[in-house]
Structure 1
Amino acid sequence: MTPTLLYLVTPIVEDPAGFAPTLRAAMRDGTAAAVLLRLPLREERLLINHVKALAPIAQEAGAALVVAVEGRGGAETMAIDLGRVATRGGADGAHARDLAEARFLRERLESDRVVGVGGLKTRHDAMTAGEIGVDYVLFGEPRADGSLPALETVLERAAWWAEIFEPPCVAFAPSLDAVPALARTGAEFVALGEAAFADTAGPADALARARAMLDAADAERARRAAEDGS
């Protein structure tokens, strides 16, 4: 049984120079396996420079960095080539906010670049994402207005996906308290966003506590699997 991995979701980063120390602190112990860098809707060249400034911090800590641009839709989605932002910025991949963007990115990016997708409202949407060939699906991330889906919905959707489908699943934790339950779904990744960055002890400490929770949940799953097989 492979360990459940941590996926760190940044706030929307307007000022990469100002955010760099925060990201560096979060990556201090190399606990996160991947980072989703959320960027505002800006001119493409500026976004590329943002990625260039921050991607090495995650990558030097052993994490893959994927990039998403918030506030996109309709003509704006095609006005910025997110695939080009990712590749020219040196990111490991790109994160789509809907199926149309996921399809565009999968066609645009080579297979060595990660394409993930969130914003999946139904099981059918998730299955369509799998057919597109994305490298992971994300359930439970904040909506455009900042609200979150019900945790029960995320637990159900992650458990369903992890049991049936091959591409990895990322389950977003609204708080550290939700980490053990999400790990028990069998999701390959548990994501932390505001719960890590707003933690009073700092993001690295929050990630360390989440890692300990995941280790405990993984050990319990392994024990139960061994008992079921005996």
Structure 2
Amino acid sequence: MTDVPRLTLLTPHRVGPEQVDALLPALERACGTGDVAAVILRLAPSDERSLIALVKRVAPVAQAGGAALVVACAGLAGDLVAVSARGGADGIHVDKPAEGQLRDLRERLRDGRILGVGGIETRHAAMDAGEAGIDYLMFGGLYPDGVAPEAEAVRERAAWWAEIFETPCIGVACGEGEIAGLRATGAEFVGLEGGLWMAEPAILARVRDAFAGAGAAP
């Protein structure tokens, strides 16, 4: 458990070449404003060469701001590990992993490469994921269809995990009103959906100042 969480930025789903031009300046601004630990880049499925080219554009911007870049791509038929590594990213994120998938990915992701997982909706599944050697577990966040778990359920799961387990977790806010509750769970990271940090850049400064004030000694 940590006193002051760091931020994780989630991009919108299905980022392709046409979205990257708008994403990059917003990402550079965000990484320069808040205490951003990681960026989860949710790519649209495409061929591996095209995806690697996109990752190569985004990775330097995130990493220059001190954030790790983690790549996700729901529905990808190719090799996400290869896309991440060849694009210069720091790891991969998988939602709703298939049985045995996380252990296989853990074997392939070596030398400090990050393996994160989300879309976990039961405590049993969360514990199974933790035993597979993941680097973080993410609760909440929008699914590709635009639906998100209930905010109360996300807070409850994040608080349960942060209290018991050593593996870090991310509690994701889809609205600004959810951030304070997630900060209070003890989760190591609070995630912000793209609709928050891209549409309203000032939110990063507000969150940074609020977290710093809440973490200050009385």
Q: TM-score, structure 2 length as denominator?
A: 0.90
1:80-159 alignment to 2 at 5 Å?
A: 80-100=78-98, 101-159=101-159
CA distance in 2, matches of 1:182, 1:94: 23
Q: Which residue pairs with 1:208 in the alignment?
A: 205
CA distance in 1, matches of 2:33, 2:168: 24
Q: Which residue pairs with 2:8 in the alignment?
A: 7
Q: Which residue pairs with 2:199 in the alignment?
A: 198
Runs of 5+ consecutive residues of structure 1 not aligned to the other structure:
224-230
Q: Is the 8 A contact 1:94 1:105 kept in 2?
A: no
Q: Is the 8 A contact 1:17 1:53 kept in 2?
A: no
Report the 3-state secondary structure (helix = DSSP H, G, I; strand = E; otherwise coil) of the residue aligned with 2:33. Answer: coil
Number of residue pairs aligned between Structure 1 and Structure 2:
211
Structure number with higher relative contact order (C-alpha < 8 Å, ≥ 6 residues apart): 2
**Considering only aligned residues, what root-mean-square deviation do their CA atoms show, in Å?**
1.7
Alpha-carbon deviations, 1:99-157, whole Å to 9, x = none?
Answer: 33433321221141010000101011100110100000000111231111111101110
State yes or no: 1:33 paired with 2:37: yes
Q: Which has the larger radius of gyration?
A: 1
Deviation at residue 18 of structure 1 after TM alignment:
4.2
Runs of 5+ consecutive residues of structure 2 not aligned to the other structure:
none
Q: Is the 8 A contact 1:174 1:192 kept in 2?
A: yes
Report the 3-state secondary structure (helix = DSSP H, G, I; strand = E; otherwise coil) of the residue aligned with 1:49. Answer: helix
Deviation at residue 30 of structure 1 after TM alignment:
5.2
CA distance in 1, matches of 2:175, 2:65: 24
Do the aligned partners of residues 218 and 7 (structure 1) sit closer, same or farther apart at CA in structure 2, a change above 3 Å counting?
A: same
Report the 3-state secondary structure (helix = DSSP H, G, I; strand = E; otherwise coil) of the residue aligned with 1:99. Answer: coil
More helix by share: 1
State yes or no: 1:47 paired with 2:45: no
CA distance in 2, matches of 1:17, 1:89: 17
Name which of structure 1's ranges 132-141 and 7-16 shifts more when overlaid on structure 2.
Answer: 7-16
Runs of 4+ aligned residues of structure 1 deviating over 4 Å after TM superposition are: none
Report the 3-state secondary structure (helix = DSSP H, G, I; strand = E; otherwise coil) of the residue aligned with 1:51. Answer: helix
